[in-house]
């Protein structure tokens, strides 16, 4: 089975106030990009990094997929990556989820029973940017985008996904806390403290 990792790394990091794109912000001694790449490389056969063409990232050209012209956020970026390569299953990960380990993503993958993929629902909110998707899901997302949808969350809600809620997330590596989305300096400090405490 060909497992494709898709790393969404296009955030500008404005709210993070780190002075660099979000992917290059440091967290416990490593950039968010390096952490996310290592995570995906541990559970996928190959990894694509999606970001704006003008964003300089230390990633080989053959591993890069450019955001579609005009931007539009993570949904069209994700669709571009899903459309760029053939795959049997894709693991999507946003660069701003540094507490998610490869073990947590593998545990999420194991929860898929039927349908187009599996996604987490931490705190009662769908997390569209850390999911496992089958090719049918990619096709569904492309149809949704062509219909004018711009929200990744709403687009994912249109798919037939197995949803994993807090009671199940709590039993997985890192627990519910692993799904912390780093958007602010406070989030980054919290993630860094957690990573240092566990030696990651």
Q: Tokens 């539009």 label which residue? A: 72
Q: Using an 8 Å Cβ cutoff, are 87 and 47 in contact? A: no
Of 197, 188, 194, the closest CA to residue 26 belongs to: 188
CB 13 within 8 A of CB 22: yes
Q: Which residue has the tokens 């037939």?
A: 160
Quick one: pLDDT at residue 143?
85
pLDDT along the chain (200 residues), means of 10: 94 88 96 97 96 93 88 83 89 97 97 91 94 90 84 90 96 96 95 93
pLDDT digits (tens, 9 = 90+) for 150-200: 898 999 988 899 999 999 999 999 999 999 999 999 999 999 999 999 888
- Strand positions, DSSP E, the chain: 3-8, 26-27, 30-31, 46-51, 64-66, 89-94, 117-121, 127-133, 161-165
CB-based contact 122:170 (threshold 8 Å): no
pLDDT, residue 7, reads 97
Closest CA to 94 of 112, 110, 74: 74
Report all structural domains of the chain as residue ranges with CATH numbers, in order of start: 3-197 (3.90.550.10)
Q: 91, 109 in Cβ contact below 8 A?
A: yes
CA–chain centroid gap for 25, Å, is 16
DSSP string, 43-70: T-SEEEEEE-TT---SS-GGGEEEPPTT
């Amino acid at each position: 089975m060909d497992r494709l990792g898709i790393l969404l790394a296009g955030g500008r990091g404005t709210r993070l106030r780190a002075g660099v794109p979000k992917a290059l912000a440091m967290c416990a001694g490593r950039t968010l990009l390096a952490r996310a790449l290592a995570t995906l490389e541990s559970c996928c056969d190959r990894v694509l990094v999606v970001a704006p063409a003008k964003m300089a990232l230390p990633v080989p050209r053959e591993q890069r997929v450019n955001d579609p012209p005009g931007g539009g956020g993570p949904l069209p970026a994700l669709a571009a990556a899903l459309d760029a390569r053939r795959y049997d299953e894709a693991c999507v990960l946003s660069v701003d989820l540094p507490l998610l380990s490869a073990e947590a993503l593998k545990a999420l993958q194991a929860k898929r029973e039927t349908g187009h993929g599996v996604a987490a629902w931490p705190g009662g909110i769908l997390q569209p940017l850390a999911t496992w998707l089958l090719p049918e899901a990619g096709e569904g997302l492309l149809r949704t985008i062509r219909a004018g949808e711009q929200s990744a969350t709403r687009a994912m809600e249109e798919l037939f996904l197995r949803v994993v809620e807090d009671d199940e997330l709590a039993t997985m590596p890192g627990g519910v806390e692993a799904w912390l989305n780093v958007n602010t300096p406070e989030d980054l400090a919290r993630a860094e403290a957690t990573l240092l405490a566990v030696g990651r």
